[in-house]
Amino acid sequence: MVNCVVRNWQGEEVAQATLELRVAKEENAAHIVHRALVRQMANARQGNASAKTRAEVRGGGRKPWRQKGTGRARAGSIRSPLWRGGGVIFGPKPRDYEIKMNRKERQLALRTALMSRSDDLIVVEEFADKLPRPKTKELVSAIARWGIEATAKVLLILSETEENIYLSARNIAKVKLIPANNLNIYDVLNADKIVTTSSALAKIQEVYGDKV
């Protein structure tokens, strides 16, 4: 179980919150988190890189010169891989990079990764009413009041996507906004700081807490 301080819009400590999720055993934790991370990054690859072999390159049907008597090396096609404009030896071809992983394992890896970031977790009160209209400058100031450096990568987790918060955050280069029920292991591990609202923390507990 992780105990977290809840901060208000001004950055003051106003309450306490807890997060308790089932995690992997210590001896297996790093392995399962690594597998889940590699899976997500591999599955994001398009796999559409393609290079033509000598059989697919246009031209080269005629022998460029006779076999003997020219003093040059023998050649059968101008599309040999040795020639400029020729085919590619062992070049990439479209392929599927998908890696399979059981759903229970993925959930366990995500919970383990999230709990491992407890020292970088910041819980704040609901602040949608503080932004009656989109205002990036006010959100940047609030993030600073929560004790986050301007250069830090921030993952902002909300229970539901609020339009004004989304519009305020989208122009901040190092802030990524994500719903609590759509967490992924890459974003959790990639962020320097994780900011979540009280309701989002409760939703994380509800969505991910019962999985075994």
Domains present along the chain, CATH in parentheses: 2-44+100-208 (3.40.1370.10), 46-96 (no CATH)
pLDDT in tens, 121-141: 999 999 998 898 999 999 999
Choose between 211 and 138: higher pLDDT: 138
Rounded CA separation 145/12 (Å)? 8
Rounded CA separation 201/157 (Å)? 8
Mean pLDDT, range 45-72, rounded to an integer: 94
Rounded CA separation 50/152 (Å)? 37
2 — pLDDT class (breaks 50, 70, 90)? confident
Mean pLDDT, range 106-115, rounded to an integer: 94
Which tokens is 130 given?
């503080």
Report whether pLDDT(33) > 50.
Answer: yes
Place of tokens 């899976």: 39
Mean pLDDT, range 182-202, rounded to an integer: 94
Residues present in the chain in total: 212
Rounded CA separation 93/112 (Å)? 36
170: how many CB neighbours lie within 10 A of its CB? 12
Rounded CA separation 210/202 (Å)? 12
Average pLDDT, the chain: 92
Rounded CA separation 48/66 (Å)? 39
